[in-house]
């Protein structure tokens, strides 16, 4: 078959065999469409092309031994031959022609001979079928596929635009993320009541899923459905009196049977769709993960294949998140060979192109298995919401994926607003801006370097200068200013988070700032283990830096004040570069103005953070010397910080709807995001004003005390009152005092110290051996709101239950229990210290299942609890109290 085109400028014909595959046909149609936008009026005809017509001939080699998706281009006279090693190779060969014409201006830019193939075998992006908030009556990740929840899911035109964007960036995989998609996509004969959508919606879902997968397939795109475990459909759970998800419940035959049949039905119905399995965040132990994967998930996949009469093993992808992936793989490979693995690149942020430490060792262990190992650029919590597209950083990160982690595939999240797909956080007159439009160069950069990360830097500078120039109607030299602005601003958020963050995860929204308490006492907020050791070069936290300064110990690696100073310079350079272009932009002026505003926001944030860190350093100097002059020195820095933040408020008010797209109680840093609150800079400004006010008042109090003017007595801490609760079951209750025995299996492990708040509460006497086997279940009824206090031992030995951790358990704040209310609050003989977490309950009957392992169940109270460090480990020297 042939497609002929002619114009006053040039004629072109696209030829391909009449019996071509759907991918070759798509390649021709795609090339036709794009060339027409470039001025080639391509019209169908079988013969009679004008003399001098350029011919682009598409074909596939037979019995190719070349790399998958590879291609060769040869030019002989007026004929350009695009020869793919497979159908996808023809598509990418056509993209090479398009890119050459786009960069060079005409088909004459296509080289005489060129061969290429991708370095990474999978190169894909994800779409979250999720929302910024929880649906009523549902837990995290529970979002049925319905027009009300996701109107965009049923927009075919939008899907075509997105899939074409993937093609243009040579991406070959699309991941759909959802907690439990099966109840929206398949019906089960044994559990007909499990379906979560009505018949009309189910039919729409069938139509759209088939449309998406068919459109993706002809573009050479592998669709992969992700799901969490163990999640149940809501009607299924209600039918059996279960919770949809409960991290601490054991695997049961019913849970296994339902999930196995869901997986099998999905495989049978959508045989060309892959599965990405997350063994969490609702399973208890690593041993459970192994059992679930090998005895439920894999058998479900095999059941579905058997119904199709297939004996092959299509790829099954396994996330390393919230599991011991190597342990699972060792158990699974003997029964299913075609397993891929996936692990987060820098956790849930982007922090470095020099990864190291324990998280790098996970990557290396998985990539050494010899299968496909996928590097997951995940969530990007520290980049929300401002534009980020640093070519230099992206290329170096892609190189690190290969050279440090051993990965050979890429999974890419949206640059920002994952939870609000398909829209960005920008406030745009008359509507919303699409992420795939706003962040086009984010996708382009990662796609470009997933294909080939070894491109020459000098050539890349030229490429991106022209790329940005074309977008904004600039000369290439002027386009360099856009690239410089992106590359300078692109260092700010990564550097600040890796040196000052509490976590790389969703729990923290960096670009809303941090409180002084979090800078001077970060441990109070539970620094995520492995974060500092893995997500950047070796260096020091601010609290470590201050201690070494005081003790005269040599410093090591990246230093906190050096980093903030560097970020100020980055911000200045980014703004200077973008300001050079004012008055020169001839295209996309509104988008340029938004980009310019983002560069100014980055600069203001860098100055805000720099001054706040300088203030925190002075406070830590006071901690070590008790000299009030350091607190006085901190005040001007904090005032300057607040002034920069005020300017940031003005820059973002009216231009951004929010900073963070996850707007639930899982967001804790810098402040809780319950109910969609505290998601804008304007909201945070009030809190930072109060922080400064409290600091001034506390300095005045210290000065009065030093001058003998303080007549107030030290604060008396009263015991919490007992709440009226009816507890079910044969529990033995004991009064919580020094000498009490709260572990039935360890009568000698008596309470030898406890916070005064806990004195006199009625605790539960628990059996640690039973807790390790079955967890701890408390059934009770209350007539008024209450809090159940639970002690988690500060030890990582396997016998102790793990404290709530939002990084690996999104339900870890379901009862408000994520952070301890009392740290170092109870000590048993021959046992580690324990922190106390409060689980809040409304009136009614409740059943709480705590994780397996030793825990202390310390009793019920209805009192408010003022969070503090009870300091049973010794004197509390932390300075965070100065800001309350």
The answer for residues whose C-beta is within 8 angstroms of residue 215's C-beta and 6 or more apart is 159, 160, 163
498: nearest Cα among 356, 374, 667: 356
Chain-centroid distance of CA 324 in Å reads 19
Give the pLDDT of residue 43.
63
In our burial notation (b when 16+ CB lie closer than 10 A, e otherwise), range 583-606 reads eebeeeeebbebbbbbbbbbbbbb
Q: Write the CA distances from 184 to 245, 262, 265, integer angstroms.
A: 17, 11, 12
Query: Alpha-carbon dihedral of residues 794, 797, 800, 804, nearest 10 degrees?
Result: 60
Chain-centroid distance of CA 427 in Å reads 23
Q: What is the pLDDT of residues 303-358, one digit of tens each?
A: 999 999 999 999 999 999 999 999 999 999 999 999 999 999 999 999 999 999 99
212: nearest Cα among 203, 200, 221: 221
- Tokens 């998601």 correspond to what residue? 679
Q: What is the pLDDT of residues 391-439, one digit of tens each?
A: 999 999 999 999 999 999 999 999 999 999 999 999 999 899 999 999 9
Superfamily of chain region 122-474: Glycosidases (3.20.20.80)
Give the pLDDT of residue 48.
56
Of residues 654 and 878, the one with the higher pLDDT is 654
Q: What is the pLDDT of residues 560-583, one digit of tens each?
A: 999 999 999 999 999 999 999 999
CB atoms within 10 A of CB 20: 18
Chain-centroid distance of CA 28 in Å reads 37
Average pLDDT for the chain: 95
Q: What is the pLDDT of residues 232-265, one digit of tens each?
A: 999 999 999 999 999 999 999 999 999 999 999 9
Question: Distance between CA 182 and CA 179 in Å, rounded?
Answer: 9
Give the pLDDT of residue 595.
98
Q: Find the distance separating the first CA and the last CA of the chain, reported in whole Å.
A: 76
Give the pLDDT of residue 716.
86
CATH number (3.40.50.720, 3.20.20.80, 3.30.230.10, 3.30.379.10) of 2-116 reads 3.30.379.10
User: DSSP letter string over 677-730?
Assistant: -S-SHHHHHHHHHHHHHHHHHHHHHHHHHHTT---PPPPPPPPPPPP-EEEPSS
Give the pLDDT of residue 3.
43
- pTM: predicted TM-score of the whole model, two decimal places: 0.94
Chain-centroid distance of CA 796 in Å reads 25
The answer for residues whose C-beta is within 8 angstroms of residue 727's C-beta and 6 or more apart is 733, 778, 779, 780
Give the pLDDT of residue 872.
86
Of the pLDDT bands very low, low, confident and very high (cuts 50, 70, 90), residue 2 is very low
Contact 395, 452 (CB under 8 A): no
Contact 487, 436 (CB under 8 A): no
Give the pLDDT of residue 6.
37
Question: Distance between CA 591 and CA 581 in Å, rounded?
Answer: 13
Of the pLDDT bands very low, low, confident and very high (cuts 50, 70, 90), residue 824 is very high
Q: What are phi and psi of 411, to 5 degrees?
A: -120, 125
Give the pLDDT of residue 46.
42
Give the pLDDT of residue 713.
53
Of the pLDDT bands very low, low, confident and very high (cuts 50, 70, 90), residue 62 is confident
pLDDT at 879 over 50: yes
Q: What is the pLDDT of residues 678-729, one digit of tens each?
A: 999 999 999 999 999 999 999 999 999 899 886 555 678 999 999 999 999 9
Cis amide bond preceding 316, omega within 30? no
Question: Distance between CA 97 and CA 31 in Å, rounded?
Answer: 8
Give the pLDDT of residue 876.
63
Query: Tell me, what DSSP letter sits at residue 804?
Result: P
Q: What is the pLDDT of residues 361-376, one digit of tens each?
A: 999 999 999 999 999 9
Domain boundaries, the chain: 2-116, 122-474, 492-706, 725-883
Q: Write the CA distances from 849 to 616, 736, 780, 809, 826, integer angstroms.
A: 40, 22, 12, 15, 22
């Amino acid at each position: 078959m042939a497609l002929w085109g002619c114009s006053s400028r040039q004629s072109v014909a696209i030829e391909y065999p009449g019996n071509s595959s759907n991918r070759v046909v798509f390649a021709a149609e795609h090339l036709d469409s794009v060339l027409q936008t470039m001025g080639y009026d391509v019209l169908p005809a079988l013969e009679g092309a004008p003399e001098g017509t350029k011919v682009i001939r598409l074909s596939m080699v037979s019995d190719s031994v070349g790399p998958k998706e590879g291609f060769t281009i040869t030019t002989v006279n007026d004929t350009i031959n695009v020869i793919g090693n497979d159908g996808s190779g023809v598509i990418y060969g056509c993209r090479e022609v398009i890119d050459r014409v786009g960069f060079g201006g005409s088909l004459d830019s296509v080289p005489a001979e060129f061969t290429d193939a991708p370095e990474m075998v999978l190169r894909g992006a994800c779409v979250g079928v999720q929302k910024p908030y929880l649906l009523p009556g549902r837990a995290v990740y529970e979002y049925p596929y319905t027009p009300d929840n996701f109107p965009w899911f049923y927009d075919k035109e939008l899907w075509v635009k997105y899939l074409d964007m993937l093609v243009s960036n040579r991406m070959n995989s699309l991941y759909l993320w959802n907690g439990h998609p099966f109840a929206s996509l398949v019906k089960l004969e044994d559990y007909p009541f499990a379906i979560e959508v009505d018949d009309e919606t189910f039919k729409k879902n069938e139509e759209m899923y088939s449309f998406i997968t068919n459109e993706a397939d002809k573009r050479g795109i592998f669709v992969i459905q992700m799901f969490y475990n163990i999640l149940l459909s809501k009607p299924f759970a209600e039918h059996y009196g279960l919770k949809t998800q409960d991290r601490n419940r054991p695997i049961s035959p019913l849970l296994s049977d339902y999930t196995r049949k869901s997986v099998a039905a999905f495989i049978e119905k959508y045989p060309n769709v892959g599965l990405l399995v997350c063994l969490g965040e609702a399973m208890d132990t690593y041993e459970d993960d192994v059992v679930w994967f090998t005895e439920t998930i894999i058998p479900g996949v095999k059941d579905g294949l058997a119904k199709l009469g297939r004996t092959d093993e299509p790829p099954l992808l396994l996330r390393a998140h919230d599991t011991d992936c190597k342990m699972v793989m060792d158990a699974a490979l003997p029964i299913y060979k075609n397993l891929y693995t996936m692990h987060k690149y820098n956790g849930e942020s982007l922090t470095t192109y020099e990864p190291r430490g324990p998280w790098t060792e996970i990557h290396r262990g998985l990539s050494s298995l010899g299968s496909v190992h996928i590097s997951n650029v995940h969530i990007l919590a520290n980049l929300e919401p401002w534009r980020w597209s640093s070519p230099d950083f992206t290329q170096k990160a892609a190189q690190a994926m290969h050279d440090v982690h051993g990965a050979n595939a890429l999974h890419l999240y949206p640059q920002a607003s994952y939870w609000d797909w398909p829209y960005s956080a920008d406030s745009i007159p008359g509507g919303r801006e699409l992420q795939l439009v706003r962040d086009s160069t984010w996708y382009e950069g990662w796609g470009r370097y997933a294909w080939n990360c070894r491109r020459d830097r000098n050539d890349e500078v030229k490429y991106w200068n022209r790329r940005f120039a074309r977008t904004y109607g600039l000369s290439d030299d002027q386009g360099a200013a856009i690239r410089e602005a992106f590359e300078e601003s692109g260092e700010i958020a990564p550097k600040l988070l890796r040196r000052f963050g509490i976590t790389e995860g969703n729990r923290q929204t960096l670009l809303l700032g941090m409180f002084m308490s979090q800078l001077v006492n970060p441990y109070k907020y539970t620094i995520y283990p492995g974060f500092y050791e893995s997500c950047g070069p070796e260096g020091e936290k601010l609290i470590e830096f201050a201690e070494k300064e005081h003790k005269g110990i040599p410093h090591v690696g990246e230093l906190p004040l050096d980093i903030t100073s560097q970020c100020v310079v980055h911000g200045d350079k980014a703004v200077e570069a973008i300001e050079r272009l004012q008055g020169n932009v001839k295209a996309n002026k509104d988008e340029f103005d938004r980009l310019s505003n983002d560069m100014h926001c980055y600069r203001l944030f860098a100055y805000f953070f720099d001054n706040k860190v300088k203030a925190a350093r002075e406070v830590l100097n006071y901690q070590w010397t008790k000299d009030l002059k350091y607190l006085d020195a901190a005040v001007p820095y904090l005032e300057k910080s607040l002034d920069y933040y005020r300017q940031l408020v003005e820059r973002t008010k009216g231009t951004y709807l929010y900073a963070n797209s996850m707007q639930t109680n899982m967001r804790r840093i810098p402040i809780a995001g319950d109910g969609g609150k505290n998601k804008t800079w304007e909201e945070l400004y009030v809190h930072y004003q109060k922080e400064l006010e409290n600091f001034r008042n506390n300095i005045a109090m210290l000065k009065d005390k030093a001058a003998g003017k303080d007549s107030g007595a030290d604060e008396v801490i009263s015991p919490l009152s007992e709440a009226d609760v009816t507890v079910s079951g044969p529990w033995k209750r004991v009064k919580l005092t020094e000498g009490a025995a709260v572990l039935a299996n360890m009568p000698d492990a008596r309470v030898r110290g406890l916070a005064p708040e806990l004195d006199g509460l009625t605790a539960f006497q628990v059996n640690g051996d039973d807790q390790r086997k079955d967890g701890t279940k408390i059934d009770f009824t209350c007539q008024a709101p209450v809090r159940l206090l639970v002690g988690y031992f500060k030890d990582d030995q396997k016998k102790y239950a793990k404290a709530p951790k939002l990084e690996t358990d999104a339900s870890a704040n379901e009862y408000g229990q994520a952070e301890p209310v009392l740290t170092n609050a109870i000590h048993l003989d021959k046992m580690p210290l324990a922190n106390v977490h409060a689980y809040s309950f409304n009136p009614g009957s409740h059943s709480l299942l705590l994780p397996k392992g030793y825990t202390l169940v310390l009793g019920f109270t209805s009192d408010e609890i003022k969070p503090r460090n009870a300091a049973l480990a010794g004197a509390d020297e932390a300075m965070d109290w100065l800001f309350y």
